[in-house]
């Protein structure tokens, strides 16, 4: 294993990592639940996507044993070798496969490989990346969001951001950019460029996308994925322009809608994009706005009571009241954003796209 990436974790970040380790959000089989229902006192089912996020988060925070248990679940239990496919859950009948989930899982396995040196993680990440390129492209050059299994037939599109092609899929395609550096002889780099071109051509129509403000907030979460992935090509003029425009739009809608519905992950995603875009020389950071987003982000952490509510982050608020869900993705994004903001303020920011959860 590598040394802990952050030797100076804040108390808040340390408590968030401890939440992943001790709350029970990670099941006995190594998989991580989608989120926890506080009112009912139970986890929802294990999700392969959320497990992939958790691997990245736990590696980032130094919880290597738990990260490897989660990675083992993905490699040995979730992956379907006969189909060369990754379902979104493990079950019978076979659940469908989501393009977005696959890319998040690849990036989690690459983080686990870098931390542990275990080649099975690298090999499985490559297999999933190849399956993404082989199975999800449409004849029109779009990425199908969902494939039925075992047929691998695309599910009919719906007018929902997660059920139709869109710029958000670029966050998942970021896995191809990562794999291209390790396997230059494969098609990964070309696939990422193809996805980038499509996303840049279509992203302006993604927001607001809905009349319902609550649904717009959900789309801010999805659009922020697009902004995160743009950072892989931050030196390009058209990417800098899209980043600058996108950061401004997300910030505007977050502040406008937040009093009635605020997602903690949107606060964290926007803050992380600001910090990385500034460090890459793409978009100078607006420090006052970043400070406000950090304050919003910090307010979603819960630090009292039993393990499930001690150190993790809630999903968000409605009319200022916390929603009754503890969320592993919110926790991962928020703890990283808050740690990076702490580091930036003391002149020690070293965050990178490779470690972006």
Contacts of 316 (CB under 8 A, 6+ apart): 261, 262, 263, 264, 265, 300, 322, 323, 330
CATH 1.50.10.10 at 11-355, yes or no: yes
Per-residue pLDDT tens digits for 159-193: 899 999 999 999 999 999 999 999 999 999 999 99
What is the rounded CA–CA span in Å between residue 289 and residue 285? Answer: 9
Per-residue pLDDT tens digits for 90-118: 999 999 999 999 999 999 999 999 999 99
Residue 188, CB-side half-sphere exposure with 13 Å CA sphere: 24
Mind giving me the DSSP string for 336-356?
A: HHHHHHHHHHTT-----GGG-
Domain-by-domain residue ranges, the chain? 11-355
Per-residue pLDDT tens digits for 211-253: 999 999 999 999 999 999 999 999 999 999 999 999 999 999 9
Q: Do the beta carbons of residue 195 and residue 170 sit within 8 Å?
A: yes
Backbone torsions φ then ψ of 262, nearest 5 degrees: -130, 130
Question: Residue 310's beta-bridge partner residues?
Answer: 303
Check residue 2 and give its pLDDT: 38
29-38 average pLDDT score = 97
Counting beta carbons within 10 angstroms of the beta carbon of residue 219, is it exposed (0 to 12), middle (13 to 18) or buried (19 or more)?
Answer: buried
Backbone torsions φ then ψ of 303, nearest 5 degrees: -135, 55
Distance of CA 267 to the CA centre of its chain: 13
Percent of the chain surpassing pLDDT 70: 98
Question: Residue 262's beta-bridge partner residues?
Answer: 317
Check residue 6 and give its pLDDT: 52
296-321 average pLDDT score = 96
Q: Give this prediction's pTM.
A: 0.96
């Amino acid at each position: 294993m590598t040394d802990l990436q952050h030797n100076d974790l804040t108390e808040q970040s340390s408590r968030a990592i401890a939440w992943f380790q001790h709350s029970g959000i990670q099941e006995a089989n190594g998989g991580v639940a989608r989120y926890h229902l506080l009112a009912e006192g139970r986890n929802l089912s294990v999700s392969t996507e959320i497990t992939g996020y958790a691997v990245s988060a736990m590696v980032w925070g130094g919880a290597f044993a738990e990260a490897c248990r989660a990675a083992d679940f993905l490699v040995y239990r979730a992956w379907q070798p006969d189909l060369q496919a990754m379902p979104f859950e493990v079950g019978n009948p076979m659940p469908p496969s989501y393009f977005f989930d696959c890319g998040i899982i690849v990036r989690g396995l690459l983080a686990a490989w870098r931390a542990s040196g275990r080649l099975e993680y690298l090999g499985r990440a490559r297999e999933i990346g190849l399956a993404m390129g082989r199975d999800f492209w449409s004849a029109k050059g779009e990425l199908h969001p969902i494939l039925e299994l075992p047929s691998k037939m695309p599910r009919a599109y719906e007018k929902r951001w997660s059920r139709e092609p869109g710029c958000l899929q670029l966050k998942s395609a970021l896995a191809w950019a990562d794999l291209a550096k390790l396997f230059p002889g494969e098609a990964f780099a070309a696939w990422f460029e193809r996805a980038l071109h499509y996303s840049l051509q279509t992203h302006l129509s993604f927001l607001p996308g809905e009349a319902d403000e609550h649904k717009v907030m959900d789309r801010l979460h999805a659009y922020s994925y697009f902004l995160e992935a743009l950072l892989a090509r931050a030196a390009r003029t058209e990417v800098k322009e899209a980043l600058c425009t996108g950061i401004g739009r997300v910030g505007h809608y977050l502040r406008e809608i937040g009093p009635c519905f605020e997602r903690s992950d949107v606060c964290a995603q926007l803050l992380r994009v600001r910090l990385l875009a500034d460090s890459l020389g793409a978009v100078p950071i607006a420090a006052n706005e970043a400070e406000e987003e950090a304050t919003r982000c910090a307010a979603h952490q819960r630090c009292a009571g039993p393990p499930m509510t001690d150190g993790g982050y809630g999903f968000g608020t409605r009319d200022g009241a916390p929603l009754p869900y503890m969320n592993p993705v919110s926790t991962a994004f928020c703890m990283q954003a808050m740690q990076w903001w702490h580091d930036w303020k003391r002149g020690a920011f070293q965050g990178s796209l490779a470690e972006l959860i």
